Structure 1
Amino acid sequence: MTRLVRSFCGVFLIGVLARTGVAEDGAEKRPRPNMVGAYGPWLSEKVLGDGPAKLSFRTGKWKTLDEWRKAARERAWERIAPVDQGGKPEVRVESTHEFDGLQIERLSWQLPGGPRTEAVFLKPVGAKGPLPAILGLHDHGGNKFLGWRKIVRIGDEPTEIVVAHQKEYYGGVAWANEIAKRGYAVLVHDTFPFGSRRVRVADVSPRVREDGIDPEPNDAQGVKRYNKFASAHEDVMEKSLVSAGTTWPGVYVVEDQRALDVLCARPEVDPKRVGCAGLSGGGMRTVFLGGLDDRIRCAIAVGFMTTWRDFLLDKCYTHTWMAYVPLLPRDLDFPEILALRAPAPTMVLNCNEDGLYTLPEMHRADAILRETFERGGAADAYRCNFYTGGHKFDLEMQNDAFAWFDRHLKNRP
């Protein structure tokens, strides 16, 4: 695993425009920017098919959600092929201070593979608990140099890069701080391969370093060079992971679970009132962690919900390799990974003009989730909102998300 983590990473954004396919009736099909050209529609029809996947609750094969969840989760874990990152890690408190009404602890822990994980724990000053808690999952955003800093502020002078990132995606605020101020304990950690868990340029072969460097945090141009290096090699990272007998979710889902261990063990945290949320790559992580770990009592996936069909036909070129699990689409559609948590409270927040997905498939994913919850007798536990604008988790969306957490975690009897 150590060699695996020392490989290389990035965002795979190689959009290959497919040639135009022709339907049997002679009508032209629209060009599709997928990786398999005119084969995409054929694969969608003949391999994915139009009906529910084999392990979908919507097939009617299972009488209860509990029966379905057991079978479907077993297969999902098999496909994900998780790595062994040990049990609950030993946590070291690096520093403590107060900022903007919050008590902030800088933490770190060592997992069996890779560099030391950095994290931040936040709670209202003086709060002793038991508090509802949130595991904040940072985004991808094409920026692997940053991890927890994308959604947290620990002082008055964040770097230029952090300010710009939060302005673009989060309405200019650190959403982890904002939810902590409402009376929550919040933990945000770096996950593979971001921030402290990123791959260092110095650790890889000179043949693949290109123009990458390992910059200082306030070196904006240097960070751009690092992220360009990282983005150029995410496909090779995927090859490395598959060669090691695992997948990308097989690494980061386990790391997120170890962070969840840390959060649930905190003396001021009520382990029965824990939620998770994240935008984009954080939404992707919410889908997997929320769908596979029962400790997440309330989950909110923001800006990452569509179908495998959408990835196949239109949007694979806009996404990280971190989303894919070989063979799993035959068993579960993408939204059904999150639906594995039914009947636990679940929210999805989408934006109508989000260029990472097609709007029809976002609505199709919503329908799949809704049908699963309804069939399981838990219609009220699921909500999906659509907003105007592009890829974001802005203040309006944050208010709706926080209200959902309040309803199911903070105000729970």
Structure 2
Amino acid sequence: MTWGELKMYSWNGDSLLEQLYNEAIEQHQNHKATVGSDERSRMLKEALQELIGSFAPNATFRPKLLERVELDDYIRERIELSATPGLSFGAYILLPKQAEGALPGVLALHGHGYGSREIVGLLPDGSPDSGVPGIHQHFALELARRGMAVIAPDVIGFGERRLHADLAVNPNAPSSCYRLSTELMMLGKTLTGLRVAESLRAYAYLAGRPEVDKERIGVMGFSGGGLIAYITSILRPSIRATVLTGFTNTFKDSILAVHHCIDNYTPGILRHAELPELIGLIAPRPLFLESGERDPIFPVEGFRRAASAIHEIYESKGASDRLAVDVFPGVHEISGRQAYDWLKETLT
């Protein structure tokens, strides 16, 4: 082999990764050309469910009321639910006081942080947070104050749901994503699959509440909560509207280009589709995409590329008026400057 031939090969893997990514995209395009859009959507939904893995349902656990607090303009309940045997989780319910009739509902899914308390206006110890809110902006509380009933489940791996094994090593461990993700992958499952299973259980509980109109329920997720939200919406077509904030992007521009928590990675998913096409499976139902123009981990260039691709999907289904996009002057955080009211109006 000559030196010229040797130079065609790389001792590093950069070119190989680029080649494999490009081959995957080409395969997606070829598949789109050989099957109808409806058939491809069906196949992608089935693949997504298979890739994240499934968990045995818990048919015997009955929801438990843990706390009920009456505040000036809303009632806050704390309940316990279970989606799979041997594991339960807490969730907050926020019920507006002044609203009349059956309420629109929202499943609110937090991202990395200290759990559902971070989005319902509480500090990690459960006391009221009267200071300036962090990147989650108390968004569940903002939705409730607009007249929507909200359920905010604790996502496993954060706050009170960190693993004892992690806390024994570091009492201040920020999350248990790594241990949960790696052990579940070794079992052919994913942390995303477990989180989605619990999200679906929270949605079902909210839909069964007497105060809530089950035909008018949406979902809003931030960052890692956006990952859970979009899959939950795909798997439950009865979810009427979806808001994804601090999440929408392409795999290429975000989780393959920027260091992310391991819980963002689903083995094998790029064999089937890029992220914009997967999010596009929500179409033609209403969808709102929000991103900060200075978000360092979901870069705005990738967001704009993804939003454009999703717009093409909505346009192909005659539903471009059901897609809304907002790039706000911020970082990796919630804005809500348009999303909150859009969700209220869409669910009304």
Identify whether the pair has TM-score above 0.5, normalized to the shorter chain: yes
Alignment partners' CA distance in 2, 1:39 and 1:304: 27
Unaligned runs of 5+ in 1: 1-23, 26-36, 214-224
Report what 2:280 is aligned to: 339
Q: Does 1:44 align with 2:44?
A: no
Report what 1:404 is aligned to: 342
- Letter of the structure 1 residue corresponding to residue 314 of structure 2: F
Alignment partners' CA distance in 2, 1:48 and 1:248: 27
Q: Does 1:272 align with 2:215?
A: yes
- Could you tell me how far 1:361 is from its partner in structure 2? 1.9
- Judge conservation of contact 1:55–1:331 (CA < 8 Å) in 2: no
* Aligned-partner SS, 2:151: strand
Match of 1:105 among 65, 70, 77: 77
Alignment partners' CA distance in 2, 1:154 and 1:126: 22
- Judge conservation of contact 2:255–2:264 (CA < 8 Å) in 1: no
Unaligned runs of 5+ in 2: 1-6
* Aligned-partner SS, 1:167: coil
- Judge conservation of contact 1:248–1:324 (CA < 8 Å) in 2: no
* Aligned-partner SS, 2:48: helix
Match of 1:148 among 111, 116, 137: 116
RCO comparison, higher one (Cα < 8 Å, 6+): 1
- Could you tell me how far 1:87 is from its partner in structure 2? 4.4
Aligned residues: 339
Report what 1:285 is aligned to: 228
> Is the deviation greater in 42-51 or in 400-409?
42-51
- Judge conservation of contact 1:55–1:332 (CA < 8 Å) in 2: no
Taking only the aligned residue pairs, the percentage that are identical comes to 27
- Could you tell me how far 1:113 is from its partner in structure 2? 4.4
What are the superposed Cα offsets for residues 244-273 of structure 1, whole Å, 9 maximum, x if unpaired? 110121111111001111111111111111
Alignment partners' CA distance in 1, 2:153 and 2:189: 22
- Judge conservation of contact 1:238–1:248 (CA < 8 Å) in 2: yes
> Is the deviation greater in 291-300 or in 84-93?
84-93
- Letter of the structure 2 residue corresponding to residue 147 of structure 1: G
Report what 2:142 is aligned to: 178
Report what 1:295 is aligned to: 238
Alignment partners' CA distance in 2, 1:366 and 1:78: 26
- Could you tell me how far 1:409 is from its partner in structure 2? 0.5
Report what 1:370 is aligned to: 311
- Letter of the structure 2 residue corresponding to residue 47 of structure 1: Y
Alignment partners' CA distance in 2, 1:196 and 1:112: 18
The alignment's TM-score, normalised by the length of structure 1, stands at 0.74
Q: Does 1:95 align with 2:67?
A: yes
* Aligned-partner SS, 1:343: coil
- Judge conservation of contact 2:78–2:91 (CA < 8 Å) in 1: yes
Report what 2:53 is aligned to: 81
Report what 2:133 is aligned to: 167
- Could you tell me how far 1:177 is from its partner in structure 2? 1.6
- Judge conservation of contact 2:81–2:202 (CA < 8 Å) in 1: no
Alignment partners' CA distance in 2, 1:128 and 1:55: 49
Match of 1:360 among 301, 310, 329: 301
The alignment's TM-score, normalised by the length of structure 2, stands at 0.87
Alignment partners' CA distance in 2, 1:93 and 1:340: 35
